[in-house]
């Protein structure tokens, strides 16, 4: 195939075929010189164009800037912590959790409560009914009556023995019978008190088949395992009450990180499934034993304000324990745009009256904390550099 330059020469030769040999030679020389010159010039132009640096400039009017809610800012020094990542749950101290059960089995007569109901200490929770309660009171009264006689006989035999009128054997038998009855009496009395049966009412002859269970603490019902007419034994958990006046964090820290954790360190935690944002707490206690199943140590944290939030006991939390902190130059994370081509920021000049001209620059970033991201390549920017700190993503994305 003929090149474009060869075709040009061929055409020109046809036109000048009647001229002299010298003219032909002159024409050929002229064509080749011009062609080579054009190629060289074209190559130099393309090379210079390729080597020319590309500058991305984005123009924004002042009205566009204000309508879009854009903001400008500078690089500032921020505190960035070194943290230990951990998980755990919202919990309450053991004294704020109570399981209600009975000392003696019985049938549920009534309970007016539902899960979530708030109760006060001493409030009626449930009533139980059983014939055993009647028999217990009946036996108590019988022993109480016997005790009067046995006490009298004991005192009489004691006097007779001291006066050498009665034998020591009779005195010892009277003493044994009296003390045995007294032990039975005291035992039955204690049982009735534990069942919340009024002793004075029993001694006056009023016998009841119903016992009442009262709330040991104030709080909310979190578990309810009974229905009316069901039989419950002393081993059964009737209900659970939790007092959320004081809640805390119960965290599990891995063995490899526990030596970095100390009392008084700050905790930042989130509840990912329920609440947005993060909350603060403080390490209060660090466990001294390792759970051999998962090689973790329990860390107890106190919330800064545990009454300002409606936390529920048992909520799962993601937490960071801050072990130390460092200072670094940073920008708001909204000023940084990450694309397939790299990570960028937009810079501009201050004191713009009619609009803004933003220059896109590549940036190297580090950790992000509380809305600020570390800038690693500080040498590429001046300390007075002005950045678009809000709205950059929309401009670079366009």
| φ, ψ dihedrals at 217, nearest 5° | -140, 170
The pLDDT confidence band at residue 18, using thresholds 50, 70 and 90, is: very low
Third-level CATH fold of 57-78+328-397: 2.40.420
55 pLDDT band (50/70/90 cuts)?
low
Is 316 within 8 Å of 271 (Cβ atoms)? yes
| Contact yes or no for 78/371 (Cβ under 8 A) | no
pLDDT at 108: 93
Pairing of strands 372-375, 239-242: unpaired
Cβ partners under 8 Å of residue 273, min gap 6: 315, 316
**Was domain 96-241 assigned CATH 2.60.40.650?**
no
Share of the chain above pLDDT 70, in %: 83
40 pLDDT band (50/70/90 cuts)?
very low
Say if residue 169's pLDDT is above 50.
yes
Report the pLDDT value the prediction gives residue 44, as an integer from 0 to 100. Answer: 46
Q: What is the pLDDT of residues 315-358, one digit of tens each?
A: 999 999 998 888 888 889 888 888 888 888 888 875 556 788 88
Confidence category of residue 244, pLDDT binned at 50, 70, 90: confident
Report angle CA 373, 377, 380 to the nearest 5 degrees.
125
Q: CATH number of the domain at 83-94+244-326, out of 1.10.579.10, 3.90.1150.10, 2.40.30.170, 1.10.10.10?
A: 2.40.30.170
Give how far the C-alpha of residue 66 lies from the chain's centroid of Cα atoms, to the nearest Å: 38
Sheet holding 106-110, edge to edge: 210-214, 124-129, 106-110, 231-232
**Banded model confidence at residue 76, pLDDT cuts 50, 70, 90:** confident
Considering only CA atoms, give the Rg of the chain.
Answer: 46
pLDDT higher than 80, residue 12:
no
Query: Which pLDDT belongs to residue 351?
Result: 56
Residue bearing the bigger pLDDT, 214 or 275: 214
314, two tokens: 């048992």
pLDDT at 21 over 80: no
Dihedral of alpha carbons 60, 61, 63, 65, sign: positive
| Range from 47-56, 198-207, 282-291, 360-369 carrying the lowest mean pLDDT | 47-56
For residue 73, give the nearest of 323, 352, 385 by alpha carbon.
385
Query: What is the per-residue pLDDT for 353?
Result: 64
Domain spans in the chain, listed from the N-terminal domain onward: 4-51, 57-78+328-397, 83-94+244-326, 96-241
Task: State pLDDT tens for residues 80-119.
Answer: 888 899 999 999 998 999 999 999 999 999 888 999 999 9
pLDDT higher than threshold 90 for residue 133: yes
Largest CA distance in the chain: 179
pLDDT at 72 over 80: yes
Mean pLDDT for all residues in the chain: 82
Q: Where are the alpha helices (H) located in 117-167, listed in sequence order? A: 131-162
Say if residue 243's pLDDT is above 50. Answer: yes
242 φ, ψ (degrees, to nearest 5): -125, 130
Q: Residue 16: what pLDDT? A: 39
Interval 247-292: pLDDT, tens: 999 999 999 999 999 999 999 999 887 777 788 999 999 999 999 8
Provide mean pLDDT across the span 16-39. 42
């Amino acid at each position: 195939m003929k090149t474009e330059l060869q075709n040009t020469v061929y055409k020109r030769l046809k036109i000048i075929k009647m001229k002299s040999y010298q003219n032909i030679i002159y024409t050929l020389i002229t064509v080749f010189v011009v062609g080579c010159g054009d190629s060289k010039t074209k190559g130099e132009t393309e090379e210079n164009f390729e080597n020319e640096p590309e500058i991305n400039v984005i123009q924004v009017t002042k009205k566009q800037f204000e309508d879009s809610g854009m903001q400008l800012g500078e690089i500032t020094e921020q505190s960035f912590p070194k943290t230990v990542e951990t998980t755990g749950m919202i919990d309450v101290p053991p004294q704020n959790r109570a399981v209600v059960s009975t000392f003696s089995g019985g049938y549920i007569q009534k309970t007016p409560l539902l899960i979530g109901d708030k109760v006060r200490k001493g409030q009626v929770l449930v009533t139980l009914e059983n014939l055993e309660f009647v028999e217990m009171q009946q036996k108590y009264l019988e022993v109480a009556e016997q005790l009067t006689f046995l006490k009298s006989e004991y005192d009489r035999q004691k006097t007779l023995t001291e006066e050498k009128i009665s034998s020591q054997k009779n005195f010892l038998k009277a003493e044994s019978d009296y003390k045995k009855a007294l032990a039975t009496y005291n035992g039955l009395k204690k049982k009735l008190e534990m069942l919340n049966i009024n002793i004075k009412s029993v001694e006056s002859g009023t016998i009841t088949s119903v016992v009442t269970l009262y709330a040991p603490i104030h709080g909310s019902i979190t578990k309810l395992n009974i229905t009316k007419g069901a039989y419950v034994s002393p081993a059964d958990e009737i209900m659970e009450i939790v007092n959320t006046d004081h809640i805390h964090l119960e965290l599990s820290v891995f063995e490899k990180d526990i030596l970095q954790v100390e009392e008084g360190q700050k905790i930042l935690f989130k509840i990912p499934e329920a609440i947005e944002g993060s909350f603060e707490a403080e390490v209060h206690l660090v466990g001294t034993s390792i759970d051999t199943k998962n090689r973790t140590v329990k860390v107890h944290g106190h919330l800064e304000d545990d009454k300002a939030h409606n936390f529920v006991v048992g909520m799962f939390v993601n937490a960071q324990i801050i072990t130390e902190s460092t200072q670094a130059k940073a920008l708001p994370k909204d000023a940084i745009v990450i694309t397939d081509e790299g990570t960028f920021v937009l810079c501009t000049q201050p004191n713009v009256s009619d609009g803004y001209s933003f220059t896109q620059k590549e940036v190297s970033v580090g950790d992000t904390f509380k809305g600020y991201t570390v800038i690693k390549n500080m040498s590429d920017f001046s300390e007075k550099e002005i950045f678009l700190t809000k709205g950059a993503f929309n401009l670079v994305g366009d």
